[in-house]
């Protein structure tokens, strides 16, 4: 039985590898390895609650805004539960909703063009789609410019990107001036023109089918539809098929506190909309096959912050295995559209064969569909923000309580869990969408969604398991959100060599690692 080791997984964010056992050209077992230690939860311990958003947003340079937002939701939820906080102003709610949509649209553009499109480009797969060729394809480079414009617009309210400065406990710390709103509008208009009008989708589909290209209907839209058709031609509707169970936390609260995309659980063809409390009670984490101690798993609010156990027998990942009522659940754009019963232009029903099917193709279609929905919502929301509105209600770290932030990253369901005692964080947990999708097996041996989707897949060429790679990338993994580097408890010396010739400036430092006391000298 040949064993295939794919290491590293390229064109994703972070460090990941996959081990496949193949028999008769079919994958009989898959193991998803998260190859770095997880530890951001340890960094925020013994700090004031308002530090959590600042530190946890630096989990990742791709998912930066959602971690700040979700950390804020967690500490604000804890303050509400403690009876010392009533909520953020409406203008701040709208600003956060706008920025979160812009960040997700940016992320979708990165995913579709920089990470996934090369798999179906002429350069990689001999498809004739030269516009999608990495680095020099016309569609590839145009998408890079659109991504840049989105981040420029984001920075008008966020202060900078990545790692915005203005999401603050109690609301926002930036005012939505008319000038800033106009700057965002200008950048969004550029991106919107590149993408093309939503109602042009049927015409663009016909153009792609007939090998026509009409830039007035959107260069981006033509490239995205071409990508979806290439994936369909490659058979992506029939590989990477998961169990068809989906989970969404809910996102974008309205003025009444109701999420515009509601929370949802889709299991065995049945859709339910659990409350936040029901979601919190249903989630557990298993460390049976993770390099963590047993007490690092369980209920996120009660389990210990992650304690490494690198020699643990049977473990193969630095990721944990989250479960919803004991079930592995797929999360992401496809889950969000399924729980809201949306299939714009029936693309998943027609191209994907079934709008609820968990396949590599449907994941790609769902991101394309959501990108258009987000663009339209961003344009509408820009006209609804009051430049003179109140943006913050004030904040104090001086309270005790516990809370959970439930939100959605572009990749899917994200949650932060916090305990606070006398203004100090005593416990913190982060459960990311990539843990849901690409984590290891749980206590009962049930594989993760990705492992399930790969097992049973045909591998025609063990030297080039392209469809396995296409499948892992369809989840848009972000491993930095899920795992972090471990440093030994020792000092180190770093020599800094000056860039300018002839300079005599050099430096060396003995830097203490976390857990050591610094030398006063």
Cα separation, 60 vs 6, whole angstroms: 23
Query: 18 near 472, Cβ under 8 Å?
Result: yes
In this structure, what token pair is assigned to residue 191?
């991106």
How do 283-286 and 259-261 pair as beta strands? Answer: unpaired
* pLDDT category of residue 479 using cuts at 50, 70 and 90: confident
* pLDDT category of residue 495 using cuts at 50, 70 and 90: low
Cα separation, 445 vs 436, whole angstroms: 15
pLDDT at 518: 36
Task: Kindly tell me if the per-residue pLDDT of 328 is higher than 90.
Answer: yes
Cα separation, 436 vs 362, whole angstroms: 18
Q: Consult the annotation and say whether 509 binds a ligand.
A: no
Query: How many Cα neighbours within 13 Å face the side chain of 292?
Result: 29
247-270: average pLDDT: 97
3-state SS record for 151-192: HHHHHHHHCCCCCCCCEECCEECCCCCHHHHHHHHHHHHHHH
Instruction: Give the tens place of pLDDT for each residue, 368-390.
Output: 999 999 999 999 999 999 999 99
Cα separation, 198 vs 371, whole angstroms: 10
Percentage above 70 pLDDT, the chain: 92
Identify the bridge partners of residue 4 per DSSP, sorted by sequence position: 20
What average pLDDT does the structure give for the chain? 92
Q: Consult the annotation and say whether 478 binds a ligand.
A: yes
Q: Consult the annotation and say whether 6 binds a ligand.
A: no
Task: Kindly tell me if the per-residue pLDDT of 423 is higher than 50.
Answer: yes
In this structure, what token pair is assigned to residue 455?
């097992």
pLDDT at 434: 96
In this structure, what token pair is assigned to residue 379?
């344009």
Q: By three-state DSSP, how is residue 240 classified? A: coil
Instruction: Give the tens place of pLDDT for each residue, 82-139.
Output: 999 999 999 999 999 999 999 999 999 999 999 999 999 999 999 999 999 999 999 9
Q: 386: which residues sit within 8 A by CB, 6+ positions away?
A: 91, 176
338-359: average pLDDT: 98
Closest CA to 455 of 441, 476, 436: 441
Residue with tokens 């449907």: 362
Helix (H) or strand (E) holding 324: strand 321-324
3-state SS record for 422-489: CCEEEEEEEECHHHHHHCCCCCCCCCCHHHHHHCCCECCCCCCCHHHHHHHHHCCCECCCCCCCCCCC
Task: Kindly tell me if the per-residue pLDDT of 238 is higher than 50.
Answer: yes
> CB neighbours (10 Å) of residue 49?
28
pLDDT at 491: 54
How do 270-272 and 264-267 pair as beta strands? Answer: antiparallel
pLDDT at 62: 84
DSSP-derived letter for residue 331 is -
Instruction: Give the tens place of pLDDT for each residue, 270-281.
Output: 999 999 999 999
Which phi and psi (to 5°) does residue 267 adopt?
Answer: -140, 130
Task: Kindly tell me if the per-residue pLDDT of 509 is higher than 50.
Answer: no
Would you call 56 exposed, middle or buried from its count of C-beta atoms within 10 A (0-12, 13-18, 19+)? buried
pLDDT top residue among 38 and 411: 411
pLDDT at 39: 84
pLDDT at 483: 53
Cα separation, 511 vs 490, whole angstroms: 9
Q: Consult the annotation and say whether 481 binds a ligand.
A: yes
Cα separation, 224 vs 202, whole angstroms: 13
Task: Kindly report the pTM of this predicted structure.
Answer: 0.91
Q: Consult the annotation and say whether 484 binds a ligand.
A: yes
322-331: average pLDDT: 98
Residue with tokens 């693309």: 347
pLDDT at 255: 94
Query: 494 near 509, Cβ under 8 Å?
Result: yes
Instruction: Give the tens place of pLDDT for each residue, 194-230.
Output: 999 999 999 999 999 999 999 999 999 999 999 999 9
Q: Consult the annotation and say whether 430 binds a ligand.
A: yes
Task: Kindly tell me if the per-residue pLDDT of 57 is higher than 80.
Answer: yes
Cα separation, 157 vs 181, whole angstroms: 9
Residues 255, 258, 260, CA angle at the centre, nearest 5°? 95
Would you call 509 exposed, middle or buried from its count of C-beta atoms within 10 A (0-12, 13-18, 19+)? exposed
Instruction: Give the tens place of pLDDT for each residue, 395-417.
Output: 999 999 999 999 999 999 999 99
Q: Consult the annotation and say whether 63 binds a ligand.
A: yes
All domains of the chain, ordered by start, with CATH? 3-387+403-474 (1.10.645.10)
pLDDT at 505: 34
In this structure, what token pair is assigned to residue 496?
């800094």
């Amino acid at each position: 039985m040949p064993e295939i080791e794919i290491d590293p997984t390229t064109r994703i964010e972070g460090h990941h590898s996959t081990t496949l056992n193949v028999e008769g050209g079919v994958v009989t077992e898959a193991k998803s390895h998260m190859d770095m230690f997880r530890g951001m939860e340890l960094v925020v311990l013994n700090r004031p609650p308002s530090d959590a958003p600042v530190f946890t947003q630096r989990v990742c340079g791709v998912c930066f805004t959602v971690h700040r937002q979700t950390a804020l939701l967690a500490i604000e939820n804890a303050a509400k539960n403690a009876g010392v906080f009533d909520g953020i102003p409406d203008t701040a709610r709208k600003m956060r909703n706008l920025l979160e949509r812009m960040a997700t649209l940016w992320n979708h553009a990165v995913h579709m063009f920089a990470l996934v499109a090369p798999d179906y480009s002429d350069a990689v797969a001999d498809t004739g789609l030269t516009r999608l060729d990495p680095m020099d394809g016309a569609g590839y480079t145009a998408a890079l410019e659109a991504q840049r414009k989105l981040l420029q617009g984001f920075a008008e309210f966020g202060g900078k990107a990545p790692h915005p400065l203005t999401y603050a406990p109690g609301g926002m710390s930036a005012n939505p001036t008319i000038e800033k709103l106009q700057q965002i509008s200008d950048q969004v208009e550029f991106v919107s023109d590149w993408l093309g009008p939503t109602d042009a989708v049927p015409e663009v589909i016909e153009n792609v089918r007939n090998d026509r290209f009409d830039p007035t209907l959107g260069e981006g839209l033509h490239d995205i539809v071409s990508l979806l058709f290439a994936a369909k031609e490659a058979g992506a509707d029939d590989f990477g098929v998961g169990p068809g169970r989906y989970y969404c936390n809910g996102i974008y609260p309205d003025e009444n506190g109701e999420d515009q995309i509601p929370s949802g659980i889709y299991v065995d063809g049945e859709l339910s909309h659990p409350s936040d409390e029901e979601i919190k009670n249903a989630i557990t984490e298993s460390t049976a096959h993770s390099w963590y101690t047993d007490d690092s798993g369980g209920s996120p609010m009660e389990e210990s912050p992650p304690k490494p156990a690198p020699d643990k027998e049977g473990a193969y990942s630095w990721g944990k295995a989250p479960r919803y009522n004991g079930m592995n659940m797929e999360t992401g754009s496809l889950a969000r559209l399924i729980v809201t019963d949306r299939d714009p232009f029936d693309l998943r029903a027609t191209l994907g064969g079934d709008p609820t099917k968990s396949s590599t193709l449907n994941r790609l279609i769902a991101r394309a569909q959501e990108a258009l929905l987000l663009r339209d919502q961003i344009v509408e929301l820009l006209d609804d923000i009051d430049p003179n509105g109140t943006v913050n209600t004030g904040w104090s770290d001086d309270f005790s309580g516990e809370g959970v932030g439930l939100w959605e990253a572009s990749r899917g369901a994200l949650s932060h869990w916090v305990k606070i005692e006398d203004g100090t964080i005593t416990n913190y947990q982060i459960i990311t969408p990539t843990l849901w999708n690409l984590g290891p097996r749980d206590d009962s041996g049930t594989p993760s969604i990705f492992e399930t989707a790969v097992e049973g897949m045909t591998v025609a060429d063990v030297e080039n398991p392209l469809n396995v790679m296409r499948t892992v990338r369809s989840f848009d993994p972000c491993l930095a959100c899920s795992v972090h580097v471990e440093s030994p408890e020792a000092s180190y010396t770093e020599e800094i060599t000056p860039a300018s010739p002839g300079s005599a400036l050099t430096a060396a430092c003995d830097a203490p690692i976390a857990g050591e006391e610094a030398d006063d000298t």
